[in-house]
Homo-oligomer: A and B are copies of this chain.
Amino acid sequence: MKEAKEGNITKEMRIVAENEKLEPEFIRRGISKGRIIIPKSNRRELNPPIGIGKGLFVKINANVGSSKKVFDPEEELAKAQIAEKYGADTLMDLSTGIKESDVIQIRRKILENTNIPLGTVPIYQSALRAIETKGAIIHMDEDDLFNVVEEQAKEGVDFFTIHAGVTREIIDYLVDHPRMMGVVSRGGTFLAAWILHHEQENPFNKKYDYLLEMAQEYDFTLSLGDGMRPGGIFDSTDYPQIRELMEISTLVKRAWNNNVQVMVEGPGHIPAHEIEQNIKIQKSLCDEAPFYVLGPLVTDIAPGYDEIVSAIGGTMAGLAGADYLCYVTPSEHLGLPNREEVKRGVIASKIAAHAVNIARYGKRASEWDYKMDIARKNLNWKDMITLAIDPELAEEKHLRSGEKLDEDVCSMCGDFCAIKLLRDALEEKNK
C-alpha cells in the first residue's frame, strides 16, 4: 500500500492488472485508496498474486483444516490442492487440533505445497498454546495472541483473520440482550469468553497498533473478522452485528493510515431481502474497503446442501458489491468436509462469483460462456465437455445413457432436439 501511495507500480500490480484485463494504474490507484488489496506476505512467492476489490473479478476462498476429532495433514493438503484445482483463488487453513504442533504441521505443509494466498485465524493456535501451557483457552494472554501472529507471519501467511472488532461494550450488550444464536464465530467466541472472564478489553482491539506494526513488517493483509456475524437468519442485521461493523470501520481507517492492506469480513446467515443493505452499509461505512462474505446463507433448513444456499447468497452479495466469497461446503453445520465436498463447495462458489462477474463486467467476464454457447449451437459435445466447470463430471453424466461424444443429440430430447430441428428446418428453407 505504501508503494501504491507513492505512485509505484510493483510487479504484483502488473500481474494482477494483466489477469484482470485492466491497466496497472487502475490497480495502483485502487490499492492506494484501500479499495483493492493484493494479499501477499513478503516472506512468500505466489503464482500468481491475486487482487481483491472494486472493479476486479469476484474471488472465492476455500477453507480447509483439521479439527480435534479429525487430524490428517495429508488429507487437508489434498483438500487444499483440490480447492486450488477447481478454482479457489485463496485458501484459509482453519485447523484446530489436540496439540499446537498439529496445526503448525498442517499449515507448513499447505504453505509449501500450494501457490495461492493463504490465510489463517491465528487465535486458534493461541488457544491450543494456552491449553498446553496454562490449562485452558480462557487463560490465554496477550503474548499468546500476538506471538502466534508473528510466528505465522514469519512463515509467510498472507492474511490473518483478526476479530479486533469484538469489543467489551458489544459483549456486555450481548449479555444483557441475548440473541437467538449467540456468537457462532469461533475466534469471536474465544475473545467474548476471554472478555467476560477477565473483564478487560479485547487485546487485538486495545493493542491494534502493535498488530499494524507487524503487518507493515511482514506485509500481511488484515481481514477484520466478524465475530458478531449472525448464526441464524433471525439474528441478521441486529445491533451486535452492526455495532461491530462500525467498530471495524474505524479500524479500517487506522490500517490505511499505517499503509496496511485490510479487508472486512461479513455475514453469515442473512435472509435474501437483507443482503443488499448489508453489503451497502459495509461499503459505505468502510469507505469501500474490500468486503469478504461468509455465505451469506439465505435459509437455515438445508444442512447437506448449504453450498447451494451459499451460492444463492453469494451471488446476491456480489451483485450488491461484495468482492470476495468464502465457500461453504455441503457438510457445513454437520461436520468437517471431505474431498468431494470441498470440490463441490468450490464449484458452487465459483458459479456464484462467475455469475456476478458476468453481470458486472459483461464481455470482460463472459468469454467462457460464449465458447460454451458456440459448442452447444454446433452440438459439439467434445467442446461442451471440455469447457464445463467440471469436465469429468459432465462427461460421466453425458455418457451415462450410452451416448457417444460424436453424436449430435443427447438422451434428454433425442431426435426431438430443438437445436437440430430448427437447424434442419432453416436449411430446408434456404435450399
Q: Which residues of A contact B (CB under 8 A)?
A: 67-70, 96, 124, 127, 137-138, 175, 180-186, 188-190, 192-193, 196-197, 231-234, 271-273, 298-305, 307-309, 311-312, 315-316, 319, 330-336, 338, 341, 347-348, 351-352, 354-356, 358-360, 366, 368-370, 372-373, 376-377, 384, 387-390, 393-394, 397-398, 400-403, 410-419, 421-426, 428-429
- Which B residues touch A393, using CB under 8 A? 304-305
Residue of B nearest to A194 (CB): B425
Which residue of B299, B334, B360 contacts A397 across the interface (Cβ within 8 Å)?
A: B334
Q: Which residues of B contact A138 (CB under 8 A)?
A: 425
Distance to closest chain B CB from A353 (angstroms): 10
Determine if B319 and A411 form an interchain contact, defined as CB atoms under 8 angstroms apart: no
Nearest B residue (CB) for A363: B234
Known A232-B373, A308-B311; 19 more pairs at CB < 8 Å: A127-B416, A181-B373, A188-B418, A192-B422, A196-B426, A231-B376, A233-B369, A234-B366, A234-B373, A271-B366, A299-B355, A300-B373, A301-B372, A303-B388, A304-B388, A304-B394, A305-B393, A331-B397, A335-B400
Whole-angstrom distance from the CB of A407 to the nearest CB of chain B? 10
* Distance of A402 Cα from B69 Cα, bound (Å): 9
15 A–B pairs (Cβ distance < 8 Å), ordered by A: A67-B414, A70-B401, A70-B411, A175-B426, A181-B419, A182-B377, A182-B419, A196-B425, A300-B369, A301-B372, A302-B351, A304-B397, A305-B351, A311-B311, A335-B398
